[in-house]
Amino acid sequence: MSEINTPLKQPPSIKLSSGEYYQRWRLIKDALARYGVVAGGLGVIVAVVLIFFYLLYVVYPLFISANAEAVSQYAVPEPALGKTLLLEMEEQNELAARFTDSGQVVFFEAATGKTLLTDAVAIPEGTEITSFAQGSPVNEGAVIYGLSDGRAVVVKHQYKVTYPDNVRLITPSLTYPLGEQPLLIDEAGAALQKIAVKVGQDSSTIVAKTADTEQDLGKIRLVNFQKEQSLFVDEAALTRTDAVLEQSAADVADILIDKEESNLYLISNDGQMGFFNISNKSNPSLRQQQNVVDAGQSITSVTFLNGDLSLMIGDSSGLVSQWSMVRDKLNRPAMQKIRSFKVSDKAVLTINAEQRRKGFMTTDADGVVGIYHSTAEREMVKVQVGGALPMAAVLSPRANTLLLQAADGTLHFWRVDNSHPEVSVKSLWQKVWYQSYPKPDYIWQSSSASNDFEPKYSLTPLVFGTLKAAFYAMLVAIPLALMGAIYTAYFMAPKMRQYVKPSIEIMGALPTVILGFLAGLWLAPFMEEHLAGVFAMLMIVPVGVMLFAFVWQFVPKSISHKLPEGWDAALLIPVILFSGWFAFQVSVPLEAFLFHGTLRDWFKAEWGIGYDQRNAMVVGVAMGFAVIPTIFSIAEDAIFSVPKHLTVGSLALGATPWQTMIRVVLLTASPGIFSAIMIGFGRAVGETMIVLMATGNTPVMDLSVFQGMRTLAANIAVEMPESEVDGTHYRVLFLAALVLFMFTFVFNTLAEIIRQRLREKYSSL
């Protein structure tokens, strides 16, 4: 049987016509475009959300509560060497020192209590220690021992850091900055019952209260030592100045000298504080005598806050009050209570100030330790440390550890996590009474060359400056942009519109740094010199335009009809230029005639309004110029897009062009116009370079158009490069960015809601 081979049948090929091929390709492109638009929109949303959460991530640590945890506790090292007068700790929190009432200094490991070194202060034989005081902790740890024979010994504890075999080794030692020989304070040899010292590089001051003797009552003696270095002698000679204060020494319980050695404070048992000027060491004078605690209370502890501009005074009721030196109405320095902290219901036993911030630590009679920040008025930590009465306590120089000795002979070593105590809701948004300021105020001043500086992180003046700059920019931009958009879209000839609209939109491409540069270096000096001309132009230019319009009515028809309809605005260009030039020409003689000088001087003399060269008026003009293209372009498109049948119908019913514009066109285009204004406002709020270069960047809260400001955006641009990464300043700047982000987000959301309602309302037209 023969096989029959039959060929396989191929399916018929489908040929697409050119029209079908085009339709299929168009569908593919439509799908790609649709998915691309969706992906782009989602990408924008994701980017905005990520920016928000990143800002929140950086800012969040500012508001984390501080905490403290126990590390170890151990018996007081070398208890046989005497009772503890002072505890100290070095920079790395590895070593601590215990000064005793027998003149011994015990250096030990802070975490374990292991004794590393004991050293004796050079106390002469046959004398007793009758008083003890600590100098400024920042000043290399000077302390002073007052003796029973009227002499005193000043000693410093120092720590030398070396790295043998790449291992850190800290070696403690004692030095004598004023010599190892005791210094004679009272020539009569009376015991020094209370004493204070400040040791400087070239000057040192000692103030002591002497005991009563048979020959004389106790006195408050002041001794100043000036170092004089000779070219031929290695050791510096000490020049001595003595003085006796005209103050009863009977009730003096504590003595404090500020770091400048110019102010002296005598604290009495009855709650009185004597404030003395000791700038002239040979003739100290009383500045103020004042009661600093409530009636029936007594002072239990007192110390300087970092910087020595404020006293922290604790009393028997558990209240700690801050007294700062301010200027009174006669510009005289005086101590005034600026805030207080209720730290306990028991007496405040010790107050220890932080060495680098405006914080302080307190202990009460129940052994409760509290850590506070004065400027932020925050309670950072409050913990029970041990169960016995505290005898001595110290915060480390970095304020990240504390050491407390209890009456039962136990030392407690704790770690403290307190990274950003300077920030609180009050310090950011409310008035704060800063040291040396006469009253509470909103202040932004984030850094200084001094470690004693009190950071001022009020965001209120920055928000105020942001809104002020945006307000004046919109005051310039909105009228010009909207009026220009109305005329261009509705009245201008189409041929002329083809030139005008692109020209104005090109203005938006100008770099803002160039506008800021011109505003700061050319516009600001020009407006300062021709201030009267600026105001004159606001009156002369409108008058010139109206006068030209009036004269144009009398131009022969044969001439006026040659001008194409809609080209009228071209004739106004030379009129406006000439009117502006004329305003500046007549302003100088007019200014001299009306104000007998300059307008700036007249404002200052008559109204007390100062003039800053880089001010809100300059910013308003420059930033308004930058915002005009945005508002103009969007508003013009909205007006031009109004359906023609609406305008034609209105005109057919007898309405005039202006009535049609106001009653029909503007209402229909109102959603687009509103969007234009909101987008322009957002641009003004976020503008950086113009306000950075055209203002003095002074964070002042002054509504005057002649004063400058500092905005949130400009502040971030100025200070971010100098801030320490993850520091408080750094995070507060990110908080400012978050505030700016939230402000624009909320404002734009509200604007979109209003725009949608306007669209629904007028969509039926």
pLDDT in tens, 679-688: 888 888 888 8
Do residues 442 and 108 make contact, with C-beta atoms less than 8 angstroms apart?
no
* CB atoms near residue 325 (< 10 Å): 19
- The predicted-structure confidence for 12-57, as pLDDT tens digits, reads as follows 555 656 777 778 888 888 889 999 999 998 998 999 899 999 999 9
pLDDT band at 11 (very low <50, low <70, confident <90, very high): low
Q: What is the pLDDT of residue 12?
A: 59
Q: What is the pLDDT of residue 411?
A: 92
Q: Residue holding tokens 């004597």?
A: 274
Q: What is the pLDDT of residue 138?
A: 62
Angle, vertex CA 651, rays to CA 648 and CA 657, nearest 5: 110
- The predicted-structure confidence for 328-359, as pLDDT tens digits, reads as follows 777 788 888 999 999 888 889 899 998 888 89
C-alpha distances out from residue 749 to 591, 744, 754, Å: 47, 8, 9
Do residues 468 and 475 make contact, with C-beta atoms less than 8 angstroms apart?
no
CA distance 340 to 694: 42
CA distance 180 to 176: 5
Mean pLDDT of 88-99: 91
CA distance 639 to 536: 33
DSSP result, 45-61: HHHHHHHHHHHHHHHGG
Do residues 207 and 196 make contact, with C-beta atoms less than 8 angstroms apart?
yes
Angle, vertex CA 9, rays to CA 8 and CA 11, nearest 5: 135
Q: Is the pLDDT of residue 234 over 60?
A: no
Q: What is the pLDDT of residue 25?
A: 83
C-alpha distances out from residue 269 to 97, 253, 276, 321, 549, Å: 30, 6, 18, 16, 86
CA distance 381 to 424: 14
What sign does the CA torsion over 503, 504, 508, 510 have? positive
* CB atoms near residue 704 (< 10 Å): 17
CA distance 687 to 684: 5
C-alpha distances out from residue 204 to 177, 223, 239, 260, Å: 9, 8, 10, 10
DSSP H or E segment with residue 158:
strand 151-162
Do residues 120 and 110 make contact, with C-beta atoms less than 8 angstroms apart?
no
Q: What is the pLDDT of residue 471?
A: 92
pLDDT band at 1 (very low <50, low <70, confident <90, very high): very low
Mean pLDDT rounded to a whole number for the chain:
86
Residues 6 or more apart whose CB falls under 8 angstroms from that of 572 comprise: 545, 548
Assign 94 to helix, strand or coil.
Answer: coil
Structure tokens at 496: 């002329």
C-alpha distances out from residue 51 to 47, 55, 125, 254, Å: 6, 6, 71, 55
Fold assignment, 460-722:
MetI-like fold (1.10.3720)
Percent above pLDDT 90 for the chain: 22
Q: Residue holding tokens 């004991």?
A: 118
Backbone angles phi, psi at 226, to 5 degrees: -105, 130
DSSP H or E segment with residue 277:
strand 272-277
CB-count exposure of residue 185 (10 Å: 0-12, 13-18, 19+) = buried
Q: Could you tell me the residue ranges of all domains in the chain? A: 460-722
* End-to-end CA, the chain: 89
Q: Is the pLDDT of residue 446 over 90?
A: no
The mean-pLDDT minimum among 117-131, 230-244, 396-410, 618-632 falls in 230-244
**Amino acid, res. 468:** K
Do residues 673 and 635 make contact, with C-beta atoms less than 8 angstroms apart?
yes
**Amino acid, res. 435:** Q
Higher pLDDT, 7 or 643: 643
Helices 666-686 and 616-640 pack at an angle, to 10 degrees, of 150
Mean pLDDT of 174-180: 87
Q: What is the pLDDT of residue 532?
A: 85
**Amino acid, res. 245:** L
Mean pLDDT of 550-578: 81
**Amino acid, res. 483:** M
Helices 460-486 and 616-640 pack at an angle, to 10 degrees, of 40
Residues 6 or more apart whose CB falls under 8 angstroms from that of 738 comprise: 52, 55, 56, 59
pLDDT band at 737 (very low <50, low <70, confident <90, very high): very high
CA distance 698 to 715: 10
> Is residue 116 left, alpha or beta, with left meaning phi > 0 and alpha meaning psi from -120 to 50?
alpha
CA distance 96 to 499: 80
Q: What pairs with residue 383 in β-bridges?
A: 369
Q: Residue holding tokens 């290695």?
A: 234
CB-count exposure of residue 148 (10 Å: 0-12, 13-18, 19+) = middle
DSSP result, 117-144: EEEE--PPTT--EEEEEE--TTTTTEEE
* CB atoms near residue 559 (< 10 Å): 9
Nearest to 394 by CA among 360, 366, 365: 360
Pure H helices in 457-567: 460-486, 494-507, 512-518, 524-529, 531-552, 557-560
Structure tokens at 143: 């302390």
Higher pLDDT, 138 or 354: 354
- The predicted-structure confidence for 522-540, as pLDDT tens digits, reads as follows 998 888 888 888 888 888 8
Nearest to 341 by CA among 360, 324, 325, 357: 360
Q: What is the pLDDT of residue 4?
A: 53
CA atoms within 13 A on the CB side of 369: 32
CB-count exposure of residue 497 (10 Å: 0-12, 13-18, 19+) = middle
CA distance 743 to 749: 10
C-alpha distances out from residue 242 to 6, 185, 445, 642, Å: 133, 9, 40, 91
pLDDT band at 460 (very low <50, low <70, confident <90, very high): very high
Do residues 251 and 193 make contact, with C-beta atoms less than 8 angstroms apart?
no
Nearest to 762 by CA among 652, 590, 619, 641: 641
**Amino acid, res. 100:** T
Higher pLDDT, 248 or 54: 54
CA atoms within 13 A on the CB side of 334: 14
- The predicted-structure confidence for 373-393, as pLDDT tens digits, reads as follows 999 888 899 998 877 888 899
- The predicted-structure confidence for 148-175, as pLDDT tens digits, reads as follows 888 999 999 988 988 988 888 888 989 8
State the DSSP code for 441: B
Percent above pLDDT 70 for the chain: 95
3-state helix, strand, coil in the chain (%, to 5): 40, 25, 35
Nearest to 515 by CA among 707, 706, 689: 689
Q: What is the pLDDT of residue 202?
A: 82
CA distance 424 to 728: 12
Nearest to 416 by CA among 470, 380, 458: 380
Mean pLDDT of 164-190: 87
